Amino acid sequence: MDTDDELRWETTDSAVDYTCPGFDVRRDEVTLPDGTETDYHYVDEPHAVVVLPFTPDGDVVVIEEWRQAVGRVNRGLPAGSVEADDADFAAAARRELREETGYEADTVSHLFSAEPTNGIANSVHHHFVAQGCTPTAETDLDFNESIRVETVDYDAILAAALDSAEPRSASNRTQSDDGGLRDGRAMLALTQYELRHGVDPEP
């Protein structure tokens, strides 16, 4: 039918093989293009939103929180899974911004969507830009969330996203080891925003 047919796998069965509070692991039974029958396991989780929030002055609202998977405090952007009560992805973005930072936005607009690790997970991150963000609400955190909220200069956080330092071993690293960001979601949001909208008006 199209040229993708030579690469396509057929799925003959699919079931959740493992579940934990953050995600499931799904096991599919598949037939490869050459007829081989095998299985494939991947992380199954809801779609998520990532928010790049600007204050009226053009600063960026960032968060710092403990990330157990990498054993350090992570500087990043408000983000979280879409929930059943969210009317749409934009509503989820407004909710996550409010819950994690206490800021509310004048406007939110879709910037892009990406699959961060589609080799092992069905995760999809929908990135939004929030403009006119001001601290108007109380944060509303999950029981195991401890978050520090800061506003930072846009050019400084973009420079941090372009800092190429290689992560050290997990045992001795904290975000304060260096100025660079390591959070891929935040790095992608900032570089995408800069290439789409970040043209310096006064060269």
Nearer to a copy of itself, 65 or 104 (CB): 65
Cβ distance to a copy of itself smaller for residue 34 or 57: 34
Q: Which of 145, 146, 150, 171 is nearest to 160 (CA)?
A: 150
What is the spatial distance between Cα 93 and Cα 108, in angstroms, rounded to a whole number? 8
Q: How far is the CB of 97 from a copy of itself (least distance, A)?
A: 16
- Are the beta carbons of 52 and 129 closer than 8 angstroms? yes
Distance of CA 55 to the CA centre of its chain: 20
**Strand order across the beta sheet in which 48-53 lies:** 79-81, 48-53, 125-131
Task: Return the number of the residue (24 or 104) whose C-beta is nearest a copy of itself.
Answer: 24
- Would the CA dihedral through 100, 179, 156, 161 be positive or negative? negative
Strands 103-104 and 37-44: unpaired
Closest approach of a copy of itself to the CB of residue 104, in Å: 23
User: Cβ atoms within 10 A of the Cβ of 60, count?
Assistant: 23
Q: CB 13 → a copy of itself: shortest distance, Å? A: 13
Nearer to a copy of itself, 70 or 137 (CB): 70
- Which CB, 105 or 189, lies closer to a copy of itself? 189
Minimum gap (Å) between residue 100 Cβ and a copy of itself: 12
Minimal distance, residue 107 CB to a copy of itself, in Å: 16
